[in-house]
Structure 1
């Protein structure tokens, strides 16, 4: 686009050490859903854009005994082949993918894996390996131990990517950390929260600190509330047994939404280096008190109003007496000079009325006088779907009156950046790990601080069996009292029906 000015101010970590040529990437849990749906499509995406190390080799490792041809069919099942060029690239990609079957708790199995890796490295004097653990958390520690003991290169280096969940409360998180610390150094560990790889989340730093007009108003004097929302239009769909172990707060809020909150609330880092960025995020977390149960509502989806969609308890994998929350709204605060008194609302749920992840910053009312009940300004950062940033603002409605209308300054990515590729989150984060950039990964003290905020609430909900989640219909916005709950913290919804995004006509209708 001719009018686009692209400026690169060095977003990679200072001192980062990219993997060299001839490195080996090992995907553990290669036959599982996560690897098939996310990891391998991301690796292929990086290959298409020539972002993998030169002469890289990729090894899949899992317990399943699979012939190599069948394995390659599996890992390409979720890769879209759009044309002959992509088909050829996929064939090339598969040519340097191999598979090893083995157990997760046997030294002999990892020794077989290591022998296979060494054959691929063809006598490299300083081999480097990246281990991606697309595995359930109950085997994290044992696999990490076996990798370090059997598969860590003697004269080179290695990195390990660990998927969430990083424990289910503060104690279990610390236990996991303690089990990893003696074997893997902190700078070798990449704890992946895929929301930190999403384009709009990575844009928050630029948006906030690269625009003076936002920086001047980004504080308690001008902002009334901040909402961070996660909505899914589907329920557990037969997989509730797994979800029931965690619930919506552990699954989405303690990690994904809290990470977004730290990006919204942090102070300007002194540089783009990983440690400077993560230091500021930790400062936000340490300024947040534990969550008061009085500032929380929870819900569980029921059948849809028309009876066509099942309730959470209709899922045969869910215990019939489950009190698991599939919806929660949590209000938290940050006790520092910038944000003291501003409610931060984390809101997440399944089986809601749409798919959306967004940040909604609502500004305070303008000074009364010539205006009466004029709508508030809102800055909305839509993370998914259809990435966008728009500012709801008041303007004079064209005509012979001084009637006002709500409109927007709109940056919708698919309209503005038609010729640019927006990478998938896993592409972005795996590339960061390849480059040795920790900026978008969770540090150990950051993880500890986040669990301190949420653990008392989680234990309170787990232990008090008389607390029953409010029912809400499948396909609704959530519990019926949600709007009253938000209003009690000063949030004004829908601007009295005067606004529709993205375009408004003179009568306020689309």
Structure 2
């Protein structure tokens, strides 16, 4: 990559001393620099209320990068070259006057670089600050040029449909849609991006990618971790808001979307929105039959006793918040009519994994004798996002020997086995796309609202009706029994990868 082709860029990171910058943003920017993806002229300005000098900030980020970067500890020569572009500014998010200092810094860079830099405002802060920051950016006159100004917003984008609409309206009054980057880090993961490549670059798949050949689809994002120190946030969110409304519905859209005319950002996002609009809405009876919630109790994880959710720090002792959610969706269009999409996610489960499983319909007539096909299994396509990155097609084959005995074998595309280069982190991909002005992997405003609209009946039902059986699954299990019943009623069962290790 010739980094000189990138426009000079100024990153202004609100929450510069926070956990997101430490674990994700700073390591991602450093790795982009190492791989020559950053422009020759760039500046990274962290901001927060903590009083730090530029040198203090650089030392902090060096420690963070040494701990969290995929490339390991920073090389001294490379770090010296990178860190001279790091700066810190003490700022009160609530005080619009302090924002004028950002404008002065940007103008100084423009003068020094003899060009107009791209300015990226990154909100690595609590969601309640999003409207305040956006409004103060506007008051300080820092959003006047739609060609060079961009704002990046982390999830959650709104707490429900109403607040998502309010935030969209606020942002639309300040920025053009092409300036707004609603980030979902799942969409930056290599395997997730490969879903589109796998589907639309291979003619062998399109004829069978429909209701005629696919029996059902499962999307599971499971975690061994509990809420850890995020109890105060999580108790106001829950699994449905935290995971299904964004991450899992995004994966569903990639699996179910129609072929785009081209790979332009709006064309791809149009096809995703089409899926959300085609999804069957929930009535109160549908919620009862098609959605399951759970909350973990105490148990044992890897030989250690762990607390139940209600005993976690900063969690209400009578919390009605779900830590597990499973939902059956339908996409009512010609391609998918009648085919169920089962989504599940939860904390303190048996395995940490993100897996999409597409089960194909059985052969119309089995010609082999019963004893030959005792271990018969329908064909499956398994897309593993984490902890391993792979795509495997499970088919039937004859076992070696004189008898005709069939068993399941895997045809595997494994990232580690195929490519020697280390895959970039999701944030590297998304930060680079933000610099380049490519919104393909970012959610559009109507897409966010369509996702909220779909799950609001479930949220409303669960909020208004307290669960009487929480906690209803123990740590290190696969979730509540009702989740098994949800899928078993249709004659199916949940799949999990036989992984040697399920740790992150």
TM-score (norm 2): 0.91
The C-alpha deviation readout for 1:352-377, integer Å capped at 9, x for no partner, is: 11110010101111123424573111
Structure 1 residues 480 and 39: CA distance shift in structure 2, 3 A: same
Matching residue of 1:133: 123
Equivalent residue, structure 2, for 1:461? 462
Aligned residues of 2:143 and 2:174 also touching (Cα < 8 A)? no
Query: Is 1:322 paired with 2:319?
Result: yes
**Change in CA separation of 1:161 and 1:500 when aligned onto 2, cut-off 3 Å:** closer
Task: Report if aligned partners of 1:352, 1:477 keep a CA contact under 8 Å in 2.
Answer: yes
Pick the aligned partner of 1:270 from 245, 249, 261: 261
- Name the CA shift for 1:467/1:210 in 2 (closer, same or farther; >3 Å): farther
Q: Is the 8 A contact 1:27 1:133 kept in 2?
A: yes
Displacement of 1:93: 1.3
Could you tell me whether the CA contact under 8 Å between 2:110 and 2:116 is conserved in 1?
no
Q: Deviations for 1:262-320, whole angstroms, at most 9, x for unmatched residues?
A: 00000000000001100100100000022431201111111115871111111131000
Deviation at 1:90, TM superposition (A): 2.0
| Aligned position for 1:441 | 442
- SS in structure 2 opposite 1:200? helix
Partner of 1:148: 138
User: Quick one: structure 1 residues 488 and 84, their matched pair in 2 at CA, closer, same or farther if it must change by over 3 Å?
Assistant: closer
Q: Kindly tell me: are residues 128 and 153 of structure 1, through their superposed partners in 2, closer, same or farther at Cα, counting changes over 3 Å?
A: farther
Query: Equivalent of 1:296, from 284, 291, 305?
Result: 291
Q: Is 1:64 aligned to residue 50 of structure 2?
A: yes
Tell me what 1:343 maps to. 340
Count of residue correspondences: 481
Q: State whether residues 24 and 121 of structure 1, in contact with CA within 8 Å, keep that contact through their aligned partners in structure 2.
A: no
CA contact (8 A) 1:302 1:310 kept: yes
CA distance in 2, matches of 1:360, 1:139: 38
Shift of 1:29: 1.0
Partner-residue secondary structure (3-state), 1:77: helix
2:472 pairs with 1:477: no
Change (3 A) 1:330 1:470: farther
**Distance in 1 (alpha carbons) for counterparts of 2:115 and 2:394:** 58
Quote the offset at 1:410 in angstroms.
Answer: 0.8
Shift, 1:153, TM fit: 6.5
For 2:73 and 2:188, the matched residues in 1 are separated by: 29
Q: Which residue of 1 aligns with 2:229?
A: 238
Paired residue for 2:93?
A: 104
Taking the aligned partners of 1:143 and 1:337, their CA distance within structure 2 comes to: 44
How far apart, in 1, do the equivalents of 2:365 and 2:205 lie? 23
Change (3 A) 1:243 1:308: same
Q: CA shift at 1:483, angstroms?
A: 2.8
* Counterparts in 2 of 1:110 and 1:318: CA distance versus 1, 3 Å: same
CA distance 1:47–1:381, shift in 2 (3 Å): same
In 1, Cα distance between the equivalents of 2:195 and 2:14?
32
Cα distance change, pair 467–185 in 1 and its aligned pair in 2 (3 A): farther
The SS at the match of 2:209 is: coil
For 1:435 and 1:300, the matched residues in 2 are separated by 42
CA distance in 1, matches of 2:207, 2:232: 47
Instruction: Give the CA RMSD over aligned residues.
Output: 2.2
Whether the aligned pair in 1 keeps the contact of 2:122 and 2:153 (CA below 8 Å) is yes
Q: 1:208 to 1:152 in 2, by over 3 A?
A: same
Q: Please, which runs of 5 or more residues in structure 2 have no aligned partner?
A: none
1:402 aligns with 2:401: no
The two structures have a TM-score, normalised by structure 1, of: 0.90
- How far is 1:107 from its partner? 2.0
Q: Tell me how far apart the structure 2 counterparts of residues 84 and 284 of structure 1 sit (CA, whole Å).
A: 43
Structure 1 residues 43 and 35, CA gap change in structure 2 (3 angstroms): same
Q: Of the candidates 51, 54, 61, which is equivalent to residue 75 of structure 1?
A: 61
Which residue is 1:506 aligned to?
none
User: Residue 494 and residue 201 in structure 1: after superposition, are their counterparts in 2 closer, same or farther (change >3 A)?
Assistant: closer
Q: CA separation in 1, counterparts of 2:397 and 2:13? A: 54
Change beyond 3 A, Cα 1:307–1:77: closer
Q: CA deviation at 1:136?
A: 1.0
